[in-house]
Amino acid sequence: MDVLIKGIEFEKLDSDRLMDFLNKTKKTQIVDIKCFYGKKHVIHSILQTLKAFRNKESIAKTEEIELLVRISAQRQIKNALSDCRPGKRAVFISWSKNAKKTFSGFKKQFKFKEHALKEPDIDTIKKAIERTSTFYLLS
């Protein structure tokens, strides 16, 4: 499994085309930059998603939606979708065998600039990972 995490800034966000792309692309998600708390947080969220499916404890029917639930620490899918809905600045996340190829296909369909993702301080990352790990206990 490859994991690819890229900061992107859309020239013009076409939500319908983006949702169409995501519906056709497995193990890939685009989240708003405000849901990004560092690459370690994203990787932890992916691992929690895979573990939930392996143990048949997932909240969502697909890994892609489960990742949103995990990364946002929202048990309600509609809240996770709302919180992570991509805006102009977003994060491309792919945990597929062909993550680079998926990103290349994404580049061909959408106009955007890549930008460096700023890693938050270690305490912020730790808190985000803790929320991702324990959100189900709080609901």
Domain residue extents for the chain: 4-137
Q: Would the pTM of this model clear 0.85, i.e. be above it?
A: yes
Q: What is the pLDDT, as a whole number, of residue 101?
A: 96
Which two three-digit tokens encode residue 36?
């990004």
- Is 1.10.10.60 the CATH number for 4-137? no
Count Cα atoms within 13 angstroms, Cβ side, for 25: 25
Q: What is the pLDDT, as a whole number, of residue 137?
A: 63
Q: What is the DSSP letter of 97?
A: T
Q: What is the pLDDT, as a whole number, of residue 138?
A: 55
Q: Convert the pLDDT of each residue in 30-47 to its tens digit.
A: 999 999 999 999 999 999
**pLDDT profile of the chain (139 residues), mean per 10:** 95 94 96 97 96 94 96 94 96 96 96 96 95 73
Chain-centroid distance, C-alpha 27: 10
